[in-house]
Each structure stands twice: as C-alpha cells, then as structure tokens.
Structure 1
Amino acid sequence: MRSQHPDWPAYSSVSAAFDRNEPGILLDLSAELARSKNSRDRDLGILALSAGLFRKDDLLGCTRALDSLDRSLPSADPFLRATGMRIRSMLMTQVGSPSKGVGAAEAGLAIVRGKGWAEEEVPLLVVKAEALTELNDLNEAMRVLSVAQRRTEESGFLRGRCLVLVALGNVKYKQGRYAEAKKDYTTAFEIGSRSRFNKVAESALGNLAGVAAMEGDNTGALKLYDSLLTILGDRSPEFRARLIGQKGYVLIEQGEFRTAIAECLRSVAIADSIGDLRSKADALHDIAFAQWSLGDRAQGSATMDSALSAYARLGWRDRIRWAHWDLAEWYHGSGEDNAAFKHLLRYSSLSDSINSERFTEQLARSEVLFETERKERRIAEQDQDLAIAAEQDRRKSTQRNAFIGATALLALIALLLYRSMRNKQRLAKQEKELHDEQVDQLLSQQEMRSINAMLEGQEKERERVGKELHDHVGSLLGAIKHQLGVLEEQVADVKTEQTAQYHKVSGLLDNAAGELRRISHDMAAATLNRFGLEKALQDLRDTLHINGRLQVELNTFGMEQPLQRGVEIAVYRIIQEAVSNVLKHAKATELSIGVTHAPGRLSVLVSDNGSGFDTAVTSGGMGLANIRTRAAALGAQVQIDSTPGKGTTVSVECPVVE
C-alpha cells in the first residue's frame, strides 16, 4: 500500500499497519472504520479487513472480503480498487495460482497507469514480478522489475526501491546468480534498516542468510554479518538480536562452539531486553547444540528445555518437533537409547499432527481457488443473462442448461474433493501403520540399526536389510582382504602350524567383518551428514589406498555446493558398490574414482586396470544389480564397459535438481 495519502489520514494508518505486518491493528482499524458515516471510510474498512485477514493467513476470509469490496466500490474510486487488486494478486500467488496473480496485478496496473501513483504502481509491478517468478518466467519478471526500478528513480520512492531490490535478488537467486543476489539483498537491507522499513529489511536479511548457506562460504557469511551489524549500530535491537543469533549458527557450522555460545548469549541478552521471544528461542536452541557438542550434556539438556519452553509459548510446533529430533540424535549418539526413543516418539507424534494441519491448510487454499472460480463463473452467468434478456423464447432453456452444468460441475468438484480427502486419509493411515510397525520392530529388537532406520524415516528409498548389509560390507571387506594379501607371499615360507595360524587369523577377520560393516555404515553416514559427499569419498580413498599394491586416485569437480542429501547417499552407495566389486574380483593395482557436478547433472566414473570380464557373458551379480537399482531410483543411466584383461569402467549419468 502507499505509505502516505495527503488527503486521507485513515488510509495512511491502514497502509503503515500493512507494511509493518500488524494484522491485529488492521482488524481494529477495520472495526473502527465500519462505524464511520462516510461511505469511503467504510469501503476502506473492508480493505483493511481483507489486508488483516491476509496477514493472518486467513486466505478464505480475505477472498470473501475482497469480493465484498468489489461489489461495494464504485467504478469511480480507482485508488481503492487498485489496492484491492494488489492484495488479490498476492493472495492468488500464495494459494498456488500465480497465473491468476499476474492477471490481478495487470488489472490493478491498468487502473493506476498514467496517473502518477508511483507508490501504488511500483508495488503492483513487484507483485506481478513475484507471480512471474513463481511461474519460472524469469526473463519477463526481470523486464517488469526494470520498469519498476525506473519508476522508483523518477519518483524518489525509497521504499519502492527496497521492494524492487529484494524482488531482483529473488529472481537472480533462482537463476543461480548468487553474488548478484547477495549484492541486491545487502543494498535493500542497508536502505531498509536506515529508513526503518522493518518488513523489507527483515526480508532482505533472511534472503542474505539463504544465499550464504547456499554458497557454503561461512567465513564470508561471518564478515557479512559483522558489516551489517556495523551498519545497524545501536538501531533496531530486534534485527541485531537476529543477526547475532545467525552469526552464532554459522560459528556452530564451523565447529567454533565456544565462540558460538558467546554470540548466542549476546543475542539472548538483547532479545530479553526487548521481549523478543522469537530470537531468544532460536538462540537457546543453538546454545544447547554447542554445549552438547562440547560434551556438556547436562547443561545442553537444560538449555534445550528452556528453548522448548520458549517454542511452546510461541506456539512453534514445527520447531518443537525438530528440537525433539535433535535430542533423539544426541541421546542415541551417547548410547542412551531409551531417552532417544522417547524423544523420537514425541517427534513422530508432532509430525503426524503437523502433517494433518497442513492437509487442512491445503484444503483451505483449494477452497480459496474454488471461491474465485465460482465468483468468475457467477460474473460470466450474469453477463450471459444480460446478453440474452431480449431473447425471451430461449431464456428458460439457457437457464436450465446453465443450472444443470453448474450442478454437474459442483457435484464433480465435490466428488473430486471427497476422493482426494479419502485418498489422503488412506495414505495417512498406511503411513501410521508403517510407523507403528517400525516402532514394534524397535521395541522387539533393541538394536542400534533399528533406531538408525527410524531416524532415516524421511528417506523414500528403503531397501531390504540384506541388500543394505551387502552394500555396507563390500568395500570394507575388500580392503581387509587386500591388507591380508600383503602377507600372503610370506606365509608360504613359514612352518605348517604357522600357516594354519595365519588361516585362523584370516577366518577371525572374516567374522569381524560383520561388526565392521555396521561401524563403516555409521561412519560413512556421519561423514556424509556433516561434511558431504566429497569428504566421504576422500575418506574412502584413504581407506583403500595401499602403497605398492593398490593406487587409488580421486578426482572431483564442481562439488563445492552440497547436493540433496538423498542424492549424496545414493551416489556414495553406488561408488562404494563399484569399488567393492573391484576389490573382490578385479585383482587391480590401480583404481580411479571421478565425480563431476555440472548444472543439472552429476557424472560418476569408477575404473580399474584389473582382470575385467566379458559383459556379453556376465549378466552381473548382486553388486552390479545394486548399482543399477540405486541408479534407477535416481533416474540415472548406468554404462558398464569391460574387456577381459583390460579392466572395467562403470559410468553413471544422473540428473540433479539445483
């Protein structure tokens, strides 16, 4: 909304409350304006009601308020109509219909174009660009924002400039131009914080954190936070508390736990001084993580209790859920499986409840779209009635057909909604039954891998235990056999009883492989979770390398940014299976592993100089079958080239979503 209106103080109050994201004040203003004797003030009250309901995420109520505004506003009042169109554009984009969002924004722009209302035209251009961004029409979004940028320069509309910069940063971020996006967000934050455009500055700050996380440049992120804190000075303690808390989080990512605790305590102190429970709760969560990482489990647990209490007061059930997840992982890591299981059950219960609420929210969003379509259909029917008013002989037939069509459409929509609800309820029931089965298995077995399986419960790829054991033990068993192979030449020269002793040791090592497979799996998973695919592959190379017997070469390119966690796990398992086949069958002295990440794809190459095999004769054992199965789950293509006596090459081409 426009920040000022010289002839209408009430509008300026509504506009300021909307910009500051204050739904309570908007609803109070709506009630006050509804009692006015001035019809224009009453119309403004309806606009304030729709704005307040939108800020409260009551999207269906907002839709009905906007429909009421459309009916009550005269065509001669373009100003309020344009503002209503902007709210409708934001609403349509939020409920998942950005094409309708573009249409509403264009309708608003048609009203204000040429009237010199930059403070309404620029926000309309921005919401149109945001809808185009959701449609992935990024070139058109950039064109619209360039028009908005010129209008802000011509009019000196400073807040509009901040809005445009944030929107430009969002488009560039989606294009992968992270450095340019960071520059736009930083400029928007500097202007917004100086000019007290708190909502815009907060949005820019959150986006800056997202860019820093995507780039993985923790050192650069810390410098950025320090420079932003310098710019902020003593102003906006809420922003300072949030910035310092985010700085503490980055320090935790770097493993600087004591420094992170100190920064987070600063954030808590500022948050306490202004009653900012949101920043305090997140900072306490990070402090608990750092304390536990330093081995101070008692203090970490107590701090996490404080964080949970703050989250409960805020009603942040999603944060409470993930806090219990963290506690489950911590207790599991320290061997306290009963405590881990208790928190895991709490996490599962909250997840079920939150998923149910999200389903209800989705139904509400669908109802908003349904209300919009019904309104459009009603308008079309009214136009049709006007057009055929002169044709009295066809009126009854047309009305009857329209009624039958509308009834059939409503019945079809109701049927589709009912079937969709039944399907989702059935899926939810199946998921709950599967979850209960996993819990029963955990209680009956009380083994470590059952907890691991439940902690990995969000992964879609759950294969049978036999295949997973084969994957985990392959490379480690091959490495053990190669290490024993170094001693084989010396065993032939010793006495018979010593030879028997050697074979006994070999047998004991085979038995130990069972335990080693579990340890290998845990270590690989921990390395992948904490450091990513590239570090896990370096550890694998170091494990396999044997001077004078097996030379292992690892080449990676474009792996600076982490992939999706599920993709990294699957790619690591594919490489691990290929290496296991080399160690078991190839008798190779050289092994090469290559991973290349380019935009939209990931290439994996594992080659050796071993004995090879005839691909036309050998259909492939369990190892090759596992490679193909895991690749198929990723939508990847596998090529296996081998010639007897000339080694083997396994190549995998995998599409990735950036």
Structure 2
Amino acid sequence: MDYIIYEFGIIYKNLEKPDEALSYYLRSVDIRKETDERGLASTYQNIGNVYKHKKKEDSAMYYYSRALALHKKFGNVSSEAMVTSSMGDLKFEFKKFKEAKEYYLLCLQIDKEVLDSNTLATTYINIGNAYSALRDFKTGEEYINKGLGILNNLGDKEGVMSAYEMLAFLFQEANEPKLALTYRIAYQEMKDSIMSIKEKEQIAELQTKYEVEKKDLELAKNKAEIEAKEKQNFIKNIIIVSVVILLLLLAFIATIIYRKKQVEQKAALNEELARQKDIRSKAVIEAEEKERIRIAKDLHDGVGQLLSAAKLNLSSLESKLKIRNPEEEVALQNAIALVDDSVKEVRTVSHNMMPHTLLKLGLASAVKEFITKIQGMPNLKVNLEIVGMDNRLEQEKETVLYRVIQEIVANIIKHAKATELTLQLIRDEKELSIIIEDNGVGFDTSKINLFEGIGLKNIISRIEFINGSVHFDSTPGRGTNVIVEIPIG
C-alpha cells in the first residue's frame, strides 16, 4: 500500500501537478516513519524537490536536510551526493551563490568517493557556475573545464554542448568577447552535430521501415507472379530482369568510376596550377626584394659615396676660391646645399627600399619608424596602435607585410584626400590582423577588378603569397577600411 501511494506521488510530479504529488508524498511519510526509514529518506528528498519546484526555499531545505540525515545514517553515499547537489541548486536558484558553492564543494568530496564520472562532471560544472556568478571567472573556468574533460572522455556530447554554453556565458560576463564567441560557436557546432545524429537515426529508422515494407511488397508481388505464371515463364523473366539489373549496375559503376577519375584529375590539375602559381609568385617577390636590396646598396655605397665626395670637394674649393662678389658666394653655397640635399635624398630612398630597422628590429619597430616619418605631414593625423607584437615573425612575412603597409598608406596619401589615418597591428595566438582605416573619399569595391593600376592587385597577390587574406571595405564619400589577416603559429 505504501509503495502505491509513493508511486502516485511520482506520477503526479511527472505530470507537473505538485500539489497532488505533495499530498501523496506526505501520506507516504506517515506510513514509512513506522515501517521503512530507508524509503522515508527518498520520500523526504522528493518532497524537497516539490517545494523546490514551488519556489519555497525554507520548506525545501527542511526536507532536504531530513533526507540527507537519513542517507548518512544508512551510508547511502550516492543519494547523499544527489541531495547535497539539489541543495546547491536550490541556493543557486535563489541567487545565494556563495551558499550554493559550499554545497557543490561538499558534493564534490562525496562524488570523488563514489567515483560516479557523470555526477562528478556535473558537480565540477555546478561549482564553476557558482564561481562565475560570484565574479571569480578564472576559478569558474577551471572547474567547468574539469567537468568538460570528463564529459569528453565519456563521449557525452549533450553534456559537452552544455559545458560549452556555460563557458560562453562565463566569458561573456567576464567581458572577453573573443573567447565567448569561440565557445558559442563550439556550442552551436556540437548542437548541430547532435541534431545531425538524431536526424540520421530517424532517417535510418524510416529507411528500415521503408525497406521492410518494400520487401514485403516485392515478396507479395513475386508470390502473385509465381502463382499466375508458369515456371518456365517465371525463370525466363527472372533471367531477363537479372541481365538488365546487371547491365544497369555495370553502367552505374562505370559512370561512378569515370566521374571519380574526372574529379581526381581536375583536383590534381587545380593543385598543380596553385603550386605553380605559388612558385611564380614567390620567385617574383624574391626577385623584387633582391633587386630592391641591390639598388639600395648601389644608391648608398655608389651614388651616395660619390655625392658625399662631391660635397667634400666643393667644401674644399670654398676655402681656395677667391670669391669676387656676393652672387658667387650664394651660387657656391647653393651648389653645396644641393649636393647635401641629394646625399640625404639618396639615403632616404635607400632606406625606404630596404629599411635597416625592419631587418634588425622587426615589423613593429619598422612600422613605428615609417609612421613617425609621415606624422609631420600637413592636414593628416596619423594614429598607430600595436598590440601583441613582442615576438618577431618570419623575415619573409615581415618584408611582405611592410611593403603592403607602405603601399596602402601611399595610396591613401596620394588618392584618398584623408585628414585622419588609423593603423592597427593586433596579434593573438593564431593570427595577425592589420587594420588600416581612413576618412577619405573612398571608392566602389565592386569595381576593384576594373582598376588599371597594379597597386591593389600587387597587395592582394603579396598577401595570398603568405597564405593570408585581405578585405577592402569602402563606399564613395565614406572612407576606406582595409583588413589584412595572416595565420601564424
């Protein structure tokens, strides 16, 4: 009789009729107090669950406490952990996060004793959520990741999906949008994967039903044909059908093989074309850089030295010549000044073609030096932001990126009519992003392939050479935003 009353309580609870369920549970308590203390613990626990559902904290805690005492008395460790976790959930629902954390930590000690991996993972995640609610995001992340590791080992995809969602919420609250987005994407991908598996199972079930029904129909048809036709005609028909099916099957297989070979040949051709394109691009860029270095050295060591010698000779002649009038003095000083300006110009050109700062100190320092040189230009405000560029990239990448930045900034100065230019270099673990933005005249990006100049095409080919991507976002009259993304690591 007691068991039936208790089961009625469970049924009403599952039907979400808490008042009726509570009535039967309380009747069960009156009986079990005298006959079954072990069962009484379960009844108290279910009464606590009903009060928890009804949002009555004190009543729920009272019955949970009585259930916990009985579970401890009889050494029912698994149920003890379950009740302790429910008490933590109750406190969490009432936003008493500190108390919830303490119950979850107590539950963790019990979980480790019974070694229930699923419950242990859930407890870790509950603790992490409590720490997150208390704004201790680092500790919260550690506990959630512990639970995530167990769920991954168990292959519990739905649990993993839930843990990803918790991490996304944690990093959102911690104001780390990139990590929040990463885990939100992981959550969505896992959710899609679970949905895909369920859909495949449903399709497989429908397919099985279809095949069974189809087979039954074929059997019935064959039986009718056997009964309706003579044995000889039946055998003849079977032979004809078999030959046709075989021919169709052979034709189908031949078609598949032919198409497969076509696909493989096309893929191989595309791969070879891409490889040849990379080789040509690399050769062109390497040759261009070598030529820049050669010209820079020639200018510095050849023309620069000759001009310096000419300046020295003119300066020497100045003391030897007899100046007859002020006009001759001015002409001589102008000649010396022109030679001096030429020396400086040659050095500047040489340095721009192959800056020593890029070779010695890397991309960040070279960009700072480059920006410093153009910051003095009238009617143009230049902003520079560099983040995470403590370590250098490969020299080849640094050279390509420096050239691209030079080209883009030069185009802005020449064509954009901008009054403000912003350059950002932002590096994280996986990629380097370069963002160049101006408030100039802009252009129509849909006509980028129609431009006669080679500047933009050169930028795109250089970035593709180092496996990066470049995106131009611009509208006439609203400035231009160039985003370059390079994979690293």
For normalisation by structure 2, the TM-score amounts to 0.36
For normalisation by structure 1, the TM-score amounts to 0.27
The structure with the larger Rg is 2
